[in-house]
Amino acid sequence: MKSLRSLFSIPRRDKSTEWVYFCGHSLGAQPKAAPSYVRRALEEWSWEGVGAYFSERAHWVDYADRLRDKLAPLVGASSASIAIAHTLTTNLHLLLAHFYRPTSERYLILTEKNPFPSDAYALKSWAEYHGYPDAVVELSELIPTTEKVVEEIYRLGERLAGVWMSGVHYLTGQFFDIQKVTQAAHAVGAWAGWDLAHAVGNVALEIEAWQVDFAVWCSYKYLNAGPGAVGGLYIHPKYHGEKPRLAGWWGNRLETRFLMRSDFDPAPDARAWVHSNPSPLLLGALEASLDIFAQVELPAYFQEVRYFHQRLRAGLERLPHVEILTPKEEHGAQVSFRLRVAQPRTAFEQLLVQGFCVDWREPNVIRAAPVPLYNLPEEIDAFIQAVATLPLE
């Protein structure tokens, strides 16, 4: 695949030196066109004021709706089944309010071991709210096989209200089998929801075909939409037309939204779960990145992601002082590993000094994600060499 690196601003260590930037799993690089997209929204605001919501040129009132066609292929869903709004944890709270309706017989939520803290907070908040403080059950293994996950779902059986997991685990980089886990949840009468923060733009997804009930994601990692970027949510079509447990004005049908009625008239699809109008400034940054993704053949791109991962993995596997956590076949770009050296944190900091932007997650995990949109194979090779020459003492 042709590199699109020239379309991105690579973060710099100083005025003259770029990082080898392997932190797209945390914050993607900025599309060079992003400032012009944001500037367009600023100019529309400057010239038209509130009129920009309905003007022919800007028409902010459905800006987020119009971006759905560009985003839908990246999650493998129909445009009507997604909405672009809020942030990941806010969307998770909104959807848990709707889907988590525990009973004394069915109240448990199964999740991965060591979920991202914000997910854990949201799950526990709703469990406690409903009077089930011990409802959240974590898997016993940090890197479980699909069979182990399915086995645990069947063990919990009729006590299980839902399964909530990450498509790609933030710490280990494991890409879970979303389809098989979802099928198992449905087999015991539970829903299946997914955090796609580390999956969207990183791995091939077909969440609608996989019958996922709901999902949420952020857009500032592999979608490169900038810090604090607008997030997204997915609702399976079988739930469209339902009234959300928590309703907000922007979730009202556009045709009646500005009639200012006191009764909520839900949008006919996933947009019913939207509370507030997304900022055109944030939507502009997201659109700049989506327009780059539109230039690639997604199946080929995701194969390139796997190749980049495997190239980095193969080099690190040859080093006796490296322990790789990420499963060999279940992965996207990210390689998570530990260093078997006397001072692993000091060794990590030496990688930074040498110009490699990777990150550290407690207690001792280094995460590196070479992204084909803007990274190069020779950067991977240089990183392997840098890890190889780290002092062991």
269-280: pLDDT as tens digits: 999 999 999 999
Of the CATH numbers 3.30.565.10, 3.30.1600.10, 3.90.1150.10, 3.40.50.2020, which one belongs to the domain with range 5-31+297-388? 3.90.1150.10
Report pLDDT digits (tens) over 342-366: 999 999 999 999 999 999 999 999 9
Q: Residue 309: what pLDDT?
A: 98
Q: What percent of the chain has pLDDT over 90?
A: 98
Angle at 191 between CA 185 and CA 194, to 5 degrees: 90
* pLDDT tops 90 at residue 330: yes
The predicted-structure confidence for 287-301, as pLDDT tens digits, reads as follows: 999 999 999 999 999
pLDDT tens track for 205-225:
999 999 999 999 999 999 999
**Residue 339 parent element (H or E):** strand 335-339
Domain 41-235+269-293 grouped into CATH 3.30.420.10: no
What three-state secondary structure class fits 106?
A: coil
Q: Which has the higher per-residue pLDDT, 393 or 279?
A: 279
Coil, helix or strand for 115?
A: coil
142-169 average pLDDT score: 98
- Say what the pLDDT of residue 3 is: 79
For range 324-346, the mean pLDDT: 97
pLDDT of residue 211: 98
**pLDDT, average across residues 302-315:** 98
Q: Measured between alpha carbons, how far is 384 from 340 in angstroms, rounded to an integer?
A: 15
Share of the chain above pLDDT 70, in %: 100
CB 232 within 8 A of CB 194: no
The residue-averaged pLDDT of 93-105 equals: 98
pLDDT for res 393: 75
Q: What is the pLDDT of residues 1-49, one digit of tens each?
A: 677 999 999 999 988 899 999 999 999 999 999 999 999 999 999 999 9
Answer yes or no: are the C-beta atoms of 316 and 366 closer than 8 Å.
Answer: no
Average pLDDT, the chain: 97
Cα–Cα distance list, 26 to 3, 342, 371 (Å): 21, 27, 12
284 contacts 41 by C-beta, under 8 angstroms = yes
Question: How many helices (H) and strands (E) are present in the chain, helices listed first?
Answer: 11, 17
Identify residue 143 by its one-letter amino acid code: I
CB 199 within 8 A of CB 205: yes
For residue 232, pLDDT over 90 is answered with yes
User: For residue 225, what are the CA distances in angstroms to 171, 172, 304?
Assistant: 21, 23, 21
Which residue, 185, 194, 200, is CA-closest to 92?
194
CA gap 73, 300 in Å, rounded = 14
Q: What is the DSSP letter of 29?
A: P
Domain residue extents for the chain: 5-31+297-388, 41-235+269-293
Render pLDDT for 2-12 as a digit per residue (tens, 0 to 9).
779 999 999 99
3-state secondary structure of 84: strand
Kindly state the tokens that stand for 254: 């556009």
The count of residues in the chain is 393
- pLDDT for 55 equals 97
Q: 157, 176, 153, 222: which is closest to 8 by C-alpha?
A: 222
Pairing of strands 356-357, 335-339: unpaired
Distance CA 192, CA 235 (A): 11
- HEC-encoded secondary structure of 343-380: CHHHHHHHHHHCCEECEEECCCEEEEECCCCCCCHHHH
Nearest to 230 by CA among 182, 286, 167, 275: 286
Phi, psi of 383 (to 5 degrees): -65, -45
Q: Is the per-residue pLDDT at 63 higher than 80?
A: yes
Q: Tell me, yes or no, if the two domains 5-31+297-388 and 41-235+269-293 fold the same way.
A: no
Query: What integer pLDDT is reported at residue 343 of this predicted model?
Result: 93
